[in-house]
Structure 1
Amino acid sequence: MPPTPQQRRAARHHQAVADAGASPGRGRRAKPITVDAVVDAALDIVAREGYEALTMRRVAAALETGPASLYAHVVNKGDLDELLIGRLCAEIDLPEPDPAAWREQITGVCTRMRDQYLRYPGISRAALAAAPTNQDTLRLAEGMLAILLAGGIAPQAAAWGIDSLTLYVNAYALEISLLSGSGNEWVVSREELLGRFSSLPDAFPQTRRYAAELTAGTDHERFDFTVELMLDGLARR
C-alpha cells in the first residue's frame, strides 16, 4: 500500500530536518524552511490578498525559494489547507464543559471560529473541503462534543449538531468574505435591496410586505440568531 499524504509529509519533514543539520554548503539558506514557516507565509498571503491568491508558487516566492522546496514539508495544496485550518483551530480556547452554561460555551466556540476565519478572507473554503483528520482540528471537535454531551445532548444528536454548526460557521464566513471582496460589482446595499423588494409586482405580496424584515440584520445578528436556533433544536431533542 503506498504511503498516505500524511506519511509522505512526515518522511519529507524528517529528511528536511536532517538536511538542515548537515554542514552548511554554498547557497544554503541561512534560515531553513519549516512547516511552521510555510503556514506563516501562507496565512500572510491570505490575510493580505484573500484565499483565492494562495498557491504553492506564491508561498515559495514569499519564502524566497522554489516550489519544489516546499514539498519536503507540505505534500500538496490540500495538505497545506489542512495545516492552515489546523493552525486556526489550535488558537481557539476551549472551556471546561459546564452543564449549566453549555449553550453559552458552544456559542462562544462558534463565534471564535467565525472570527478566526474572517481574519483570513475566504479561508473557510479550505475548511469546507478538508477532512477532520488534523489533530488540532479534531481537538476543536472533541471540545465541542464534550460541551454538548455535558449539556445533556444525546451522542448522535451532538455528533450531527457539531457537523451542522461547523458547516454553518464555514459557510457564513465564506459568504462574508465573498460579499466584502474587492471588485464584486453584484453586491447591492441594504437600501437598494429594500427598494427592489418594496417595488415588486403584486405576485410577491409577502416579499413586498416584509421587505424590511427580509433585509434586516447588522453586524452578526443573523449569525447569532441561526446559532441560537440550532441550539434550540438540539435542546428539544
Structure 2
Amino acid sequence: MSPTPQERRAARHEPGAPPAKTRRGPSGGGKKPITVEAIVETAFGIVAAEGYEALTMRRLATALETGPASLYAHVVNKEDLDELLIGRLCASITLPAPSPSRWREQIIGVCDGLREQYLRYPGISRAAFAAAPSNLDTLRVSEGMLAILLAGGVPPQRAAWAIDALTLYVNAHCLEVALAARRGDADQWVIGRDEMLRRFAALPEAFPNTRAYAGELTGGSPGDRFAFTIGLMLDGLVRSAAG
C-alpha cells in the first residue's frame, strides 16, 4: 500500500530520510521530473518575483508545467509547502557555539539572520506564523536559540517564552516591511515622511506630544527600529531574570 500524504510528510522529518521519489508531470518524460526540491525552488522563485500572496498550489503547478495532482505526490497541502519553505530558510541560519559572555550578541545575530532570509522573499514570513514546529531545520534554529539563552543564564521557562516572542516579532517585522513595500509600489495613498511631518505639525492642540515629537515618531529606518526592539526585548529579559 502506498504511503498516505501525511506519512510522506512525517517521513521527511526523520533524520537521514531518503529523498522522495520523482514523478513526471502529465506530459510524461519530456519535462523535468517533479521533486520536492523542484517544488521548493520554484516556489521561492514565485515569491521573490511576485510576493508570497501569489504563491498558490495552482500557480506553482503552472510554473512547473504540470497539474496540481503531481504536486500532491510530494507535498500534502499548502501548509506543508509553507513548512518546507521556512525550513529551507532556517537551514541557512548560522548558529554559533553558545557563549555565556556573548549570548546577547549571539541572539541578535540569529534574529538578524532570520530577518535577512525573510526579507529576500517578500511576505514569506507570513508562512512562519503557522509553520508546525516539526521541521528539523526550523527546530535546529529554536534549539540553537534555546542553547544560547540558557548559556546566558536565562531560566528555562523564560528562555522558552523569549524564543516565542523574538520569533513572533521577527516574523511580524518582516511581514510589515513586505506589506509596506507592496503598498508603496501600488497605492497612491501611501505618504512619505515629509508629508507625515507636515500632517503632524498641523494637528490640533489635543495632540501636543505628537506635534512636539513628530521627528522621533517618524524617525529611523526599519532596520533601526528592528535593532531597537530586539535590544529592548533582551534588556527586559535580563531584568526579569534577575528579579
What is aligned with 2:237?
Answer: 234
Task: State whether structure 2 residue 191 is matched by structure 1 residue 191.
Answer: no
Aligned pairs, how many?
230
Contact 1:35–1:74 at 8 Å: present in 2 too? yes
- Correspondent of 1:215 among 206, 213, 218: 218
Shift of 1:4: 8.1
Q: Unmatched 5+ residue regions in structure 2?
A: none
SS across alignment from 1:220: helix
1:74 alignment partner AA: V
- The normalised TM-score by structure 2 is 0.88
What is aligned with 1:104?
Answer: 105
Task: State whether structure 2 residue 207 is matched by structure 1 residue 204.
Answer: yes
- The normalised TM-score by structure 1 is 0.90
Alignment CA distance shift 1:134-1:161 (3 Å): same
SS across alignment from 2:21: helix
1:211 alignment partner AA: A
Alignment CA distance shift 1:194-1:15 (3 Å): closer
What is aligned with 1:7?
Answer: 7
**Cα distance between partner residues in 1 of 2:112 and 2:179:** 19
RMSD, aligned CA: 2.3
Runs in 1 of length 4+ with deviation above 3 angstroms? 3-6, 8-16
Alignment CA distance shift 1:10-1:166 (3 Å): closer
**Cα distance between partner residues in 1 of 2:11 and 2:157:** 37
Contact 2:177–2:222 at 8 Å: present in 1 too? no
SS across alignment from 1:108: helix
Identity %: 67
**Cα distance between partner residues in 1 of 2:87 and 2:187:** 29
Alignment CA distance shift 1:195-1:100 (3 Å): same
What is aligned with 1:23?
Answer: none
